[in-house]
Structure 1
Amino acid sequence: MTTPDPRLHVDFCGLDFATPLVLLSGCVGFGEEYTRVAGFSNRDAGAVCLKGTTGSPRPGNVPHRVYETPGGMLNAIGLQNPGVDRVVDEILPTLDFSETRFIANVSGSTIEEYIAVTERFDDSPIDAIEINISCPNVKEGGVAFGNDPAMSARVVEACRKATSKPLITKLSPNQTDIAENARRCIEAGTDAFAVINTLMGMAIDIESRTPFIGNNQGGLSGPAIKPVAVLKTHQVYQVAREHGVPIIGQGGVTSASDAIEFLLAGATAVGVGTALFYDPLILPKINQGILDYLDRHGLESVSRLTGALRLNEPPVRGCGC
């Protein structure tokens, strides 16, 4: 097994990521789904975000849960998971922590549930904790917390008191002012951000006149949301950089060029999710593409790309442009 090029290493909340790529929550199960694919290796990722975990087991939403759309995919899994006790007691011991970093994803319907799940993961070998306050396909909690800056801050503050591990807040794009939400979360104690979660969307079967998704609506991921995700990443970066808070930029990454866009916009690491469904071996391709870019531009480290965006000068108002 080859070791990733040291030029790809990034520091994320004091954790050494071997590459800037992060496998996103909900796309790789609990870290084992793609390991059965010949040629796949978790070592090609700097970190793996485990599936969203709640206090008690959840069966998830009724089918259909996934629907392919032009340029993307709708999903409404509904946080199906076996509950935090089983994850900590039975699943974490099977993971190889020498391969990569593993990040837990904490979800809940109440602040008390977020606290309980966070405390359980705090007493585990997990490397960091991502709090999901932005899930668009459950009927309680989730996106309701994420779209209200005050409520977002309350969840972050509660989880901050429950763990000493690095805390990553996953932000919703379905809100009025994502930068303000980020500011409130920083004040509440978050160590990092994941930007963005999926956009809310719907697809309709015109013959039956019903939504394809059993939950009626779901989260849209894939290339269609990338321009929105890059912009939101840059908006959060304007707030986060003042406090040294790193960002996992995510949403529609399918190539090295996509990943580099997020890095330039302000991300320290880049999430890969939907692309894995059609190309499970995409990670080494993206890593090599980033290295090729570093070579072309004479850069010694991928970290030199973070926030290196050169904005165009805005047009002068009143000039008739």
Structure 2
Amino acid sequence: MDPVRLECLGQEVSGGDAQETGYHSCLDMANQTQVSEFILLGLSEQPRQQQALVGLSCSLYLTGCLGNLLTVLAIISDPRLHSPMYFFLSHLSLLDVCFTSTTVPKMLLNHVCGLATISSSACLVQMYFFIAFGAADSILLSAMAYDRYLAICRPLHYMTIMSMLRCAQLVAVTWAVASFISLVHTILMTRLSFYASRVPHFFCDINALIQLSCSDTQVNEMLMLVLGGSGVLVPFVCIMASYTLIAVAVWKVPSARGKWKAFSTCGSHLCVVSLFYGTIIGVYFNPASTHTTYRDMAATVMYTMVTPMLNPFIYSLRNRDLRSALRRLLSQSHFAKPL
């Protein structure tokens, strides 16, 4: 931890009047060095390593955007894919594009222009959209698990329950809850004072910003757990509950072929869930003392770049209907026609 922050924390725990004096001294230090912009240190402090990682990030970002946008276009253009499952998948693909676009383009722009700064207001905006899109991703994955539960466990009532109106309502609730969670975090972040401007990350991550604050961050850290539970752990529990009921229902299917067919419709979603939640829980739901810069950076790269890039490939490789729709889309495009 930074020596200045250690000094501040040491003053806060000194007890009695000394604690109050230390706290005000800490605030004075923060006010004297209050920053109007932050310096994003990027993926690595080594120039050559940074250049290689930026090139890799650019490739992952472009591949992910292309794959997800093609998935959205294929679903929209093919009437056979106008069902609840593909409706949710199209929104997930769109969310993945937005999620990666909140962080990677700014990092690439800073690298190309030789800059590493971001204004404090732009930093808060980036943090807001990053949390909003991430929480929406999480909640939408639970809606998709609910959809699979109804399709397998209640097939006769599936189309009645999962009407297009119900699908639209679930997506609307997803956006509303995610926006609320992000707004609360952003408002609380504006109350903090910062004693340093060097963010050890490639974007304005809430954990990194809290570590730079000389203010009392207990409320922020508590709400990270409370609201994080609402946006991440609650959907995760709902997903596990849905798949437990699915497993019980599939176990009762007499034929092995029938069991495999039922589980095959869930395989892609389970792969995406494992990648997404595994990395997020590893970063944001462990004690701060266990965090290391390199581990957090690797996990963050996984769920901000690698997972969104893999999602369209996971679904298209395991879904025959989507593969066929993508082939038809590409065969009809001008790019696929010979000159």
Q: Which has the higher helix share?
A: 2
TM-score (norm 2): 0.26
Flag the structure with more relative contact order, 1 or 2, with Cα contacts below 8 A and sequence separation at least 6.
2
